[in-house]
Amino acid sequence: EIVLTQSPATLSLSPGERATLSCRASQSVSSYLAWYQQKPGQAPRLLIYDASNRATGIPARFSGSGSGTDFTLTISSLEPEDFAVYYCQQRSNWPGTFGQGTKLEIK
């Protein structure tokens, strides 16, 4: 099973700052990686798929990069509604696995 390790576990930033979240795979997943956002009491929402493609309706301040084993989700300038938990998911090895999540909190 491919293990995804997200870092940091918690990230404390202020609105307007840049956020950089990391997801590392235990073996190569090529570009078969997605990012999801989950706000309290809500279902996860697809943000980025195939490592770098924004899902429909996702603002341009969200971007994804990486391939192989190292991936990054970047939020260029944090808005108040961006504070949430972010999960990465790989599907190189079906059915896929999730990372443990990064909580992005307001500093």
Partner 1 sequence: QVQLVQSGAEVKKPGASVKVSCKASGYTFTSYGISWVRQAPGQGLEWMGWISAYNGNTNYAQKLQGRVTMTTDTSTSTAYMELRSLRSDDTAVYYCARDGSERFLKDWFDPWGQGTLVTVSS
Task: Provide the binding-site residues for partner 1, judged by CB under 8 A.
Answer: 32, 34, 36, 42-46, 49, 55, 87, 89, 91-92, 94-101
54 HSE (CA, 13 A, CB side): 10
Tell me 54's DSSP state.
Answer: E
- Tell me the one-letter amino acid at 33: L
What minimum distance in Å lies between the beta carbon of 43 and partner 1?
Answer: 4
The separation between the first and the last C-alpha atoms of the chain, rounded to the nearest angstrom, is 35
Question: How far apart (Å, rounded) are the C-alpha atoms in residues 70 and 31?
Answer: 10
Q: For partner 1, which is the closer residue by CB, 61 or 98?
A: 98
Q: For partner 1, which is the closer residue by CB, 69 or 89?
A: 89
What minimum distance in Å lies between the beta carbon of 42 and partner 1?
Answer: 8
What minimum distance in Å lies between the beta carbon of 4 and partner 1?
Answer: 10
- Tell me the one-letter amino acid at 2: I
